[in-house]
Amino acid sequence: MTRVWFYNIPFHGHVNPTLPLMRELVRRGEDVIYFSSPAFEKVISATSVRYRAYENLGAFEQSRAATHIIHLGNLVADTTYALLPEVLSTVEAEKPDYMIFDMSAPWGGIASRRYGIPALASFPHLPFYWRTILNDRRVLRKGLQSIKPGYGYWRKLQRQTAKIVKDFKLRDPKDINVLSSSAELNVVFSTRYFQPYEQHLDESYLYVGPEIETNRQEAPLEIKKDEGQLLIYIAVGTVYRANLQFFQYCLQAFDDRRYRVIMSVGRAVDPADLGHVPRNFTVAQYVPQLVILQNADVFITHGGMNSISEAVYYGVPMIVVPNTIEQALNAARVEQLHAGVYLEPDRLSVEKLLQAVESVLGDPETRHGLEEIKRSFAEAGGVRRAADAIQTFKKHHGLT
């Protein structure tokens, strides 16, 4: 039995894709310790791995305030600086046989290099390739919007990175990448079919597809829908602060008895701030996503990879309104593969929302696009292929 430690960040989009792999590793006899926060203890422990909380949970408190990717990089750098003392000391003292770390948890990669412990990375999102920004004017515009207000954040990030390198005596500044940490083996929970410019990413990136746990424990929700009503599901992720105007456009657009609307606003928005909520809406900070997607006709989403994968699994066409550059890349890919429509948040209107919904409802090309992506998921190999690759990785490093 080999001992593996998994360093992740406590967000649904990063934890949920990894849970089936954890079950498979345990089934194969691995002794896994999974670092996260108490909010995820129950779902992590249900996989039979051993949950362990970060000692400095306050390091993650500010992460939900991120407004764009460079700002998020600042927050990840702060988190890394706060967590490294405990991570380095525990790894040095207990020395696991190998490690897994999330692409947004650079402290795992730093510890593995310092103590010569083999490590692989978990990618719940697509790896970045620069040409994808140039392929779509909307993505390019989103990238420029992120850079312009982020100039000060870039400078701060450079200072933060330099401080981490100096204070923790890293050998090389490249040892820390707060935006996307990679390793010798990178397990990507998507497919090369969905990855733009996939030919430019080498074989260290193993695309195994998402494995949707349809029996995932979620809070029950009774979905009340009149005959003939269309169910629209609206949700944003848990990392970036949502724009209140986006939700207000949705309230105006779908204030119509033809629609039954379930809207999840996340923890960063107080439902009381929305003002008048039409009677055909259910508004909450969190809702059971899989339960709703099984019944939804359209999904209006921020475009996180986890949400896209779940929508594809249930064949739900998407209207993607991205907050960030990586979500914009996902949105463009959804549209390119005919699985939905990309709408720019700063050019959003009630009319555009309504037009987008009507354009995907019952559209045969959209249905075919969703089926093709789902087929690529089914053919990717899933967690068994990932676990097989990890076994090969272990043998390469003399671990049994």
Q: Do 19 and 167 have their domain in common?
A: yes
Measured from the Cβ of residue 316, the count of other Cβ atoms closer than 10 Å reads 23
Which string of DSSP letters, residue by residue, matches 62-126?
A: GGGGB-SHHHHHHHHHHHHHHHHHHHHHHHHHH--SEEEEETT-HHHHHHHHHTT--EEEEESSP
pTM to 2 decimals? 0.91
pLDDT value of residue 178? 78
pLDDT value of residue 12? 85
CA distances from 196 to 42, 129, 135, 144 (A): 35, 8, 10, 20
For the record, the structure tokens of 31 come out as 């002794």
The residues that bridge with 230 in the sheet, in sequence order, are: 259
pLDDT value of residue 151? 59
pLDDT value of residue 239? 52
For the record, the structure tokens of 107 come out as 């402290």
pLDDT < 70: residue spans in the chain = 61-69, 146-151, 217, 237-242, 268
pLDDT value of residue 61? 65
Q: Do 18 and 148 have their domain in common?
A: yes
CATH for 304: 3.40.50.2000
Q: Do 183 and 287 have their domain in common?
A: no
42 inside domain: yes
pLDDT value of residue 179? 77
Residue numbers of the domain that contains 312: 230-378
334 inside domain: yes
User: Residue 112 in contact with residue 87, Cβ under 8 Å?
Assistant: no
224 inside domain: no
pLDDT value of residue 97? 98
Q: Do 191 and 264 have their domain in common?
A: no
Rg for the chain (alpha carbons), in Å? 21
320 inside domain: yes
Q: Do 11 and 93 have their domain in common?
A: yes
Q: Do 192 and 252 have their domain in common?
A: no
For the record, the structure tokens of 34 come out as 């999974």
Q: Do 387 and 284 have their domain in common?
A: no
221 inside domain: no
9 inside domain: yes
User: Residue 64 in contact with residue 241, Cβ under 8 Å?
Assistant: yes
91 inside domain: yes
Task: Report how many domains make up the chain.
Answer: 2
283 inside domain: yes
For the record, the structure tokens of 173 come out as 């500044």
For the record, the structure tokens of 391 come out as 């076994």
Q: Do 170 and 183 have their domain in common?
A: yes
Q: Do 177 and 254 have their domain in common?
A: no
Q: Do 197 and 323 have their domain in common?
A: no
Q: Do 287 and 181 have their domain in common?
A: no
CA distances from 174 to 25, 178, 201, 326 (A): 30, 10, 19, 21
Helix (H, G, I), strand (E, B) or coil at 40: helix
Q: Do 67 and 199 have their domain in common?
A: yes
